[in-house]
Structure 1
Amino acid sequence: MDTVSSDSVGRFLTVADTADLLNISTAEVIELVRSAELPAIHVGSPGRWRIERVVLEAYIDGKYEESRRMGLWRQANLASLPEVSDGAIVRPSDA
Structure 2
Amino acid sequence: MTVVVVEHRFLQLSEVAEELAVSDSQVYHMVRSGELPAIKVGGRGQWRVERAKLEEYISRKYDETAEWVRSNPLIDKEAP
TM-score normalised over the length of structure 1: 0.68
CA RMSD of aligned residues (A): 1.3
**Identity within the alignment, %:** 41
Per-residue deviation, 1:9: 3.6
Give the aligned partner of residue 12 of structure 2. Answer: 14
Structure 2: gaps of 5 or more residues: 76-80
Higher relative contact order (CA 8 A, sep 6+): 2
Higher-Rg member (1/2)? 1
TM-score normalised over the length of structure 2: 0.79
Per-residue deviation, 1:73: 1.1
Give the aligned partner of residue 86 of structure 1. Answer: none
Indicate which of 57, 68, 71 corresponds to 2:69.
71
Structure 1 stretches of at least 4 aligned residues deviating more than 2 Å after TM superposition: none
Task: State how far apart, in whole Å, the 2-side matches of 1:53 and 1:41 are.
Answer: 12
